[in-house]
């Protein structure tokens, strides 16, 4: 119910002019409020149906809201959004354009329209920065693959010199680990001949080869320094070979002594300690020396291992310069002695 502002008579809601005075009657504010409430309810219902993916109900509510408020851009935008989510891109594009006509400054609707148009044309534009990142990542992956391939190639590649050195080291270690048989005399064989080593020694412990091999300058220098030691020369010993292992600062020194019936462990240990001292003095990187003593068996039998032992720089430096044979023996750890060698003195 409304009231005429001029003559104050009560009028019906649908009357636009007062029948008494003819004055135009203003629209009821209550009716306007009812429209807003109805519109809000329809928009809420349309959104709820959209979330539930009830497309027909959502379109119906949005269409009814658009009928009530055809000049509201948000209503057209909601209807376009429903069509877009439904997959009806043509209708979505139409309603996004209508929403932009009603509100040209709405950047959100403009972005949505561009997205729908791109989907319709099948050429979704890529973000340039994203494409650049993809190219950078692909390039880095390719570079990593190339680096890994180069590293594998270099690690698997082995020069002839390295192959020869590794073969020598393996041969020496096999000889060190091999057991030595006791040399026995044949029946009716003289005692003096029975005591002398013969070629009946197992091949792993014997057949020492003195063929020339490649050695580094440091290995040659250590061998020459050890050969110049007076004790080595006076004992008639010979420094045959030096093999260095730089991974642990270890040097394997092989020396030979002339065979004699009076040869003792002390004699061998003194020479071994002397060559080890020479190695430590010659090269500061040497921390451990493995001394290996062999003796020629004569003829074509090669040589026989008499002693193998390890010593370190700290052990030898803790002992006096002029050590006894007993002290020299204690300077070596992991010592192995041929059973045919005599006593310690």
Residue-by-residue pLDDT tens, the chain, 345 positions: 566 777 777 666 667 777 878 777 666 544 566 778 888 888 999 999 999 999 999 999 999 999 988 888 999 999 999 999 999 999 999 999 999 999 999 999 999 999 999 998 885 544 445 556 777 888 889 889 998 888 988 877 755 566 666 666 666 566 555 454 443 444 454 444 434 444 444 343 444 445 467 899 999 999 999 999 999 999 899 999 999 999 989 999 999 998 887 889 999 999 999 999 999 999 999 999 999 999 877 655 578 899 999 999 999 989 998 999 999 999 999 999 988 776 655
pTM of the model: 0.41
One domain, residues 223 and 337: yes
Q: Is 254 helix (H, G, I), strand (E, B) or coil?
A: strand
Compute the distance between CA of residue 82 and CA of residue 85 in angstroms, rounded to an integer: 5
Answer whether residue 253 is part of any domain. Answer: yes
In angstroms, the Cα distances linking 299 to 109, 139, 213, 255 are: 104, 68, 22, 19
Predicted local confidence at residue 88, as pLDDT: 92
Residue 192 confidence (pLDDT): 43
User: Phi and psi for 305 in degrees, rounded to 5?
Assistant: -75, 130
How confident is the model at residue 35, as a pLDDT?
79
Domain boundary among 121, 144, 162: 121
Strand partners, 242: 253
Tally the domains of the chain. 2
Query: Are the C-beta atoms of residues 109 and 103 closer than 8 Å to each other?
Result: yes
Question: If you compute the radius of gyration of the chain from its CA atoms, what whole number of angstroms results?
Answer: 52
Closest to 91 measured CA to CA, from 104, 82, 101: 82
Residue 190 lies in a domain: no
- Can you give the CATH number for the domain in which 52 is found? 1.25.40.10
Token pair belonging to 311: 């010593």
- For residues 236 and 233, give the distance between their C-alpha atoms in angstroms, rounded to a whole number: 5
CATH number at residue 251: 3.10.310
Inside any domain, residue 79: yes
Give a yes or no: residue 206 inside a domain. no
Q: Examine residue 131 and state whether it is found in any structural domain, yes or no.
A: no
| The last residue of a domain, from among 121, 142, 174 | 121
Residue span of the structural domain in which 298 resides: 214-345
Considering only CA atoms, which of 291, 208, 303, 204 is closest in space to residue 255? 291
Q: Of the residues 121, 153, 183, which one is the last residue of a structural domain? A: 121
Domain presence at residue 147: no
For residues 219 and 196, give the distance between their C-alpha atoms in angstroms, rounded to a whole number: 33
Judge whether 286 lies within some domain: yes
């Amino acid at each position: 119910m409304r009231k005429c502002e001029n003559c104050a008579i009560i009028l019906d809601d649908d009357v636009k002019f007062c029948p008494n005075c003819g004055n135009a009657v203003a629209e009821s504010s209550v009716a306007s409020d009812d429209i807003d409430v109805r519109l809000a309810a329809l928009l809420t219902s349309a959104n709820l149906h959209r979330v539930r993916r009830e497309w027909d109900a959502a379109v119906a509510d949005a269409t009814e809201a658009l009928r009530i408020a055809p000049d509201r851009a948000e209503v057209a935008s909601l209807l376009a959004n429903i069509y877009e989510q439904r997959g009806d891109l043509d209708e979505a594009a139409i309603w996004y354009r209508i929403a932009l006509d009603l509100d040209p400054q709405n950047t959100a609707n403009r972005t949505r329209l561009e997205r729908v148009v791109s989907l319709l044309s099948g050429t979704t534009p890529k973000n340039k920065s994203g494409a650049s990142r993809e190219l950078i990542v692909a390039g880095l992956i390719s570079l990593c693959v190339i680096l890994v391939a180069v590293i594998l190639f270099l690690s698997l590649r082995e020069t002839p010199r390295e192959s020869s050195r590794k073969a020598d080291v393996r041969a020496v270690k096999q000889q060190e680990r091999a057991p030595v048989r006791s040399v026995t005399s044949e029946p009716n064989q003289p005692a003096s001949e029975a005591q002398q080593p013969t070629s009946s020694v197992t091949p792993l412990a014997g057949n020492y080869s003195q063929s020339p091999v490649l050695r580094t300058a440091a290995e040659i220098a250590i061998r020459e320094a050890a050969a110049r030691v007076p004790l080595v020369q006076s004992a008639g010993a010979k420094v045959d070979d030096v093999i260095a292992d730089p991974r642990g600062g270890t040097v394997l020194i092989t020396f030979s002594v002339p065979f004699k019936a009076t040869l003792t462990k002390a004699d061998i240990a003194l020479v071994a300690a002397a060559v080890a001292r020479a190695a430590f003095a010659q090269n500061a990187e040497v921390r451990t020396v493995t001394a290996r003593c062999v003796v020629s068996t004569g003829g074509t039998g090669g040589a026989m291992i008499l002693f193998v032992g390890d010593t370190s720089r700290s052990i030898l430096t803790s002992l006096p310069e002029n050590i006894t044979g007993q002290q020299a023996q204690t300077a070596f750890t992991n010592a192995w002695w041929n059973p045919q060698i005599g006593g310690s003195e």
